[in-house]
Structure 1
Amino acid sequence: MTALQSVQTLELRREVRRFLSEERARGTVLGRPDSWLTGWHPEFSRRLAERGWVGMALPKEYGGGGLGFLARVVVIEELLAAGAPVSAHWVADRQAAPSILNHGSEEQKKRFLPAIAEGRCFFSIGMSEEQAGSDLASVQTRAERVAGGWRLTGTKKWTGGAHCNDYAIVLARTSEHEDRHQGLSQFIVDLRAPGVRVEPIRLLTGEHTFNYFHLDGVEVPDGMLLGKEGDGWAQVTGELAFERSGPERYLSTFPLLVAVVRELSDKAATADQQVRLGALMARLYAVRQLSLGVAAALDEGRPADVQAALVKDLGTRLEGELVHEVRRILPVAADAGATPGTYPELLALALLHTPAYTLRGGTNEILRGIITRAVEHKEQQS
């Protein structure tokens, strides 16, 4: 990074922090853990878009900022650290937009990308199924040819935001092959189309974020096939690099760490508390550097799926361990009924979200297999 880029980055951070301060005064930003998953606030997303902070990595010709992934990281780090409600536009900005940019037709790019950048078009992910979570190649959703398009039948699971978003990018099988990774395709599905049925899956907190997403003979026109028929597996694996490598994979519980530091600032922290806090900060710094490396690779057009898997594995384990470590640093009773934003209330919320950290985006056990195979392949080549 050049000196000029460093100055621009610092000013961008200051600008985002000023904006967040204004939003706190409005009561919009509440410092919630996991805000990128559960903080659905479309008006807030549109205010971000008005400042050019949605679609930052998209080319200007499609309504984006043309600033690249590293600039986007600067903004989302600040948003996540503050616990801002960004889930409405999150998937659209993080992976639907890059996927459409990379694989979509010109018509799809002109239709969806400017709308995403303006914060008025929101997407869900239609990948996982009951028996096809991390093993996406075993998806059972089928797409069969009909006049003018395709008919999709099947059920997706863990489809976040399907009850309130506009579209989902759905992975479906379009032909049978001995190799399960062949014959898969992606489709852009209107979430309000006839035959779409959404069934809620509630979190331990009672929050409605995830869903079963039923496709009961949903007809999708040819123009909504994303990329080429049969290229779905390559497209999905490339898309996962965007999903697994961002700051949300290590900053989901950062607001809780901020709350602990705030509590300790009012009293003299012990040597043990300081050491434990220092260890957490060191781990955060290390994972952040890995994540920045993936963003740089994406800016340069280099593949980063293995590095993204490493970020997701290390980052999500840290998120959960941070929750348990802060309880050792400052033992209190977690209390979901405490004053919103206080340490006991944030601790209760983070604890209830903890089981999901290492599951979503691909289980860590599967990701370690990806990493191991890549290391073995490199050793064989050397």
Structure 2
Amino acid sequence: MDALHIKVGELPPECEELRAEVRAFARRNMTKYSKVQRAHNWSGRDPAFSKMMGEEGWLGMTWPTESGGDGRSMLERYVMLEELLAVGAPMGAHWSADRQMGPLLIRYSKDKLAPKIIPQIRRGEAFICIGMSEPDSGSDLASIRTRGTKVEGGWMINGRKVWTSGAHYAHYMVALVRTSDKGEDRHAGMSQIFIEMDRPGVSVRPIVSQLGTRIFNEVILDDVFVPDDHLVGEEGKGWTQVSNELKFERSGAERFLSSTQLLLEMLDEADSDNRQQSVAIGKLIARYASLRQMSQGIALMMSNGEDPSLAASIVKDQGALLEQSLPDIAYELFPEKLGDGSDFDQVMNLLTLAAPSFSLRGGTREILRGIIAKGLGLR
């Protein structure tokens, strides 16, 4: 069925066939993960799981066949993701590579980097981190100071990146660096550079979260040489490329399914005779249903070649609001579970500490709402 003739809420037969396959895969392979491990959701990491997904053909599944992908639809990928996210599958290792770095290389380095890296991503063997944010820059990427200086045969990179998710296990980083001055356009002069993490001059320092986990890192780039063909796309066009890339980062089901384990715990504990619990959980499920429709709509837009940037920002913003509300609702509805050491208690504690970050990753709430206001003509 042509995506152009599908309405939101409808899925073609191949999507439901795939859903059955993914559910069978999850039943076989998810039993070894505890409820707390599942609560980490897509930020959880298991390289062995990534390889299994590669064996199933679920990494790079929408990429063109001529570029090494399977040419499947965005709706099929959406179904695969929502099924695995709903059960808390540990997909953090390959996440960025599959979601946005593969498409980036296919589009902007089709003949140079893509032939080497795409097969690795497809097998679940290439983990790629994204070097955007910097100290003192916040969400203002135009103020980055990491510099790429042209030298014979390539580029010399110097600077620092922070909040770099997964840098400590990544094989590669795609870094946004300044290769020329801003001029009148403050977004001009930035380029994307592909860097092997084992190159001399690359060092990674952990940023330990309040959960005691290590997801974020600071990456120091000290006279790191990369060859000419590691420039991704055009020199000075990095901002445009990053803007295109962010539609992948903000549009998926992960933007409202990060806290599903806590919802499942609440459903298991709920008393059908308790009106307060029934009403509160019913409202949550209604919000989930709305966001699912919106997120599926974005997959349809991408299938039809439409620009989902505005819609993706709305889903990301509203998804974060939903996820951040769950711990408070759980505390209010099930106070007797506080401190009892149960799975419910452990999952609730984990997400209470993790939830503040949900409105930071992928763009802060202020940035997203600025994009939404501009898209609606309000600024």
TM-score range, shorter chain: over 0.9
Residue number among 225, 246, 252 corresponding to 2:258 in the alignment? 252
State the distance in 1 between where 2:99 and 2:259 align: 19
Which residue in the other structure is 1:374 paired with? 375
* Matched AA of 1:134: S
Shift, 1:114, TM fit:
1.7
State the distance in 2 between where 1:101 and 1:369 align: 30
State the distance in 2 between where 1:148 and 1:334 align: 60
* Matched AA of 1:283: R
State the distance in 2 between where 1:29 and 1:104 align: 40
Which residue in the other structure is 2:363 paired with? 362
**Stretch of structure 1 that moved more, 300-309 or 225-234:** 300-309
1:82-121 aligned within 5 A: 82-121=87-126
* Matched AA of 1:338: G
Q: Does 1:243 align with 2:249?
A: yes
Shift, 1:29, TM fit:
7.9
Unaligned ranges ≥5, structure 2: 1-5
Cα pair distance change 1:34/1:232, threshold 3 Å: same
State the distance in 2 between where 1:321 and 1:231 align: 38
Residue number among 264, 279, 285 corresponding to 1:281 in the alignment? 285
Which residue in the other structure is 2:131 paired with? 126
State the distance in 2 between where 1:194 and 1:137 align: 27
Shift, 1:28, TM fit:
7.7
Q: Does 1:80 align with 2:89?
A: no
TM-score (norm 1): 0.93
TM-score (norm 2): 0.93
Shift, 1:111, TM fit:
1.2
1:170-319 aligned within 5 A: 170-176=175-181, 177-264=183-270, 267-319=271-323
SS in 1 for 2:241: helix
Shift, 1:331, TM fit:
2.3
Cα pair distance change 1:172/1:16, threshold 3 Å: same
Which residue in the other structure is 1:49 paired with? 54
1:119-158 aligned within 5 A: 119-158=124-163
Q: Does 1:353 align with 2:359?
A: no
Is the contact made by 1:171 and 1:186 (CA closer than 8 Å) also made in structure 2?
A: yes
Shift, 1:228, TM fit:
0.4
Shift, 1:8, TM fit:
2.1
Aligned residues: 372
Q: Does 1:21 align with 2:27?
A: yes
* Matched AA of 1:292: Q
* Matched AA of 1:363: T
* Matched AA of 2:276: D
Which residue in the other structure is 2:341 paired with? 338
State the distance in 2 between where 1:373 and 1:118 align: 40
Is the contact made by 2:30 and 2:89 (CA closer than 8 Å) also made in structure 1?
A: no
State the distance in 2 between where 1:269 and 1:43 align: 43
Is the contact made by 1:12 and 1:74 (CA closer than 8 Å) also made in structure 2?
A: yes
Cα pair distance change 1:282/1:4, threshold 3 Å: closer
Once the two structures are superposed, what CA deviation does each residue of 1:112-148 show, in whole Å capped at 9, x if it has no partner?
1121111111100111111223211111111000111
Once the two structures are superposed, what CA deviation does each residue of 1:42-85 show, in whole Å capped at 9, x if it has no partner?
11000011011111111223332211222111111111110111
Is the contact made by 2:63 and 2:103 (CA closer than 8 Å) also made in structure 1?
A: yes
**RMSD between aligned residues:** 2.0
State the distance in 1 between where 2:243 and 2:48 align: 32
State the distance in 2 between where 1:252 and 1:321 align: 12
The share of aligned pairs that are identical, in percent, is 42
Cα pair distance change 1:284/1:268, threshold 3 Å: closer
State the distance in 2 between where 1:139 and 1:27 align: 40
Cα pair distance change 1:154/1:280, threshold 3 Å: same
